[in-house]
A and B are shown apart, each in its own frame.
Chain A
Amino acid sequence: MKVEIVDWQAVASWHWDLKDDSITDELCGICRVAFDGTCPNCKYPGNECPLILGAGCQHNFHLHCILQWLEQDTSKGLCPMCRQVFEFRKDFNTVTKDINSLLMLIDGHKSMRDREVDEEFDSFDDDLRMND
C-alpha cells in the first residue's frame, strides 16, 4: 500500500523543568493560572516570563504578575499572599531586562521603608528634645 501524506500537524506539550514538581502543579497566586500556562499578558510560556520563587516566603509567581504588583505603590514591596517583604531566589533565574526591573522595584520599596523608619526616628528624636 502506498500512503501519501497530504497534511500534518505537530502538537507539543510544555512543562517547566524544576526539580520539585509540586511547585509547577500550583497556580500563580496573582493571576490564578497554572505555572505551566502563561501569565495573562503572554502568549507563549518560556524564559521571557519565568517562575519567580519566593526566598523570604514560599510563594511563587509568574514574573510579569509579581512585577505588575510591585509596580504599585500600595504593594509596599510585600508578598500578596503573606504580606512579608518579598524577596526571590536570584540563583534560579538568568538575568533579563524584566528580572532587572524586578530587582530595582524590590530595592525601591526597601529604600522607601528605610526612609520611613528614619523619619520615625527623627520625629522621636524631636519629641525627646522637646521634653528636655
Chain B
Amino acid sequence: MAALPKRIIKETERLISDPVPGITAYPDEANLRAFTVTMNGPDSSPYEKGIFDLELYLPDDYPMCPPKVRFLTKIYHPNIDKLGRICLDVLKDNWSPALQIRTILLSIQALLASPNPDDPLANDVADDWKKDEPKAIEVAKEWTAKYAKAKE
C-alpha cells in the first residue's frame, strides 16, 4: 500500500488530540484510511441524547475527492436512507479540498439539527416529514431512543 499522505496523518493526529465536541473519529489499525466515528445527536433536535455510529473512508484520491461517509446506526431522517447513505452537497458536487474530515463531520452533525425534506434521499421519510412534521419528529425521537443508545 502506498504511504499515507502527510495531510491524512496531520488530520488524524488533530482529530485525536483536539477532537470536535460531540464527535469521535479513530482510524482502524489495519487500514488508516478507514475511520470509526461516533456522533452525538445535536441538542434540541429529535436526535438529542442519541449516539450514532458512522464509518468514514478516505479514497485514494482524497483530498481531490470527498471522503465516503455512511451511518451505521439506523436513523429516521429525510436526507439519510436505509443504507445509511447521506445526501449532503459537500459530500458530492460541492466538495473542495479545503474541506477536511472534521468539517465534513460537523456538516453532518448540522444536517441532523436541520433536516431538509425538500431535497430528500429517503423519499418515504421526507413525505412523512412534509405531511405531518410533529409526528415525524416523534418517530425520529423513538428511533433515536431505540437504536442510538450508548454502548455499555
Contacts and interface: CB of A to CB of B under 8 A. Distances in A.
A71 B65 CA distance: 11
Contact of B96 (A31, A71, A80): A80
Chain B interface mostly: loop
A83 interface: yes
B95 A40 contact: no
Interface residues of B, number: 12
A40 B7 contact: yes
Interface string A66-90: 0011011010001011010000000
A81 B95 contact: no
A103 B34 CA distance: 36
A45 interface: no
Interface in B79-123: 93, 95-98
A72 to B, nearest CB: 6
A: interface residue count bin? 10 to 19
B6 A69 contact: no
Contacts of A40: 5-7
Interface in B52-68: 63-65
A29 interface: yes
B88 to A, nearest CB: 14
Given A81-B98, A83-B96, A32 B64 contact: no
Contacts of A74: 65, 93, 95
B10 interface: yes
Interface of A: 29-33, 40, 65, 68-69, 71-72, 74, 78, 80-81, 83
Given A30-B63, A31-B6, A33-B7, 8 more contacts: A29-B97, A32-B6, A33-B6, A72-B65, A74-B93, A74-B95, A81-B98, A83-B96
The 5 closest A-B pairs by CB, nearest first: A80-B98, A80-B96, A30-B97, A80-B97, A81-B98
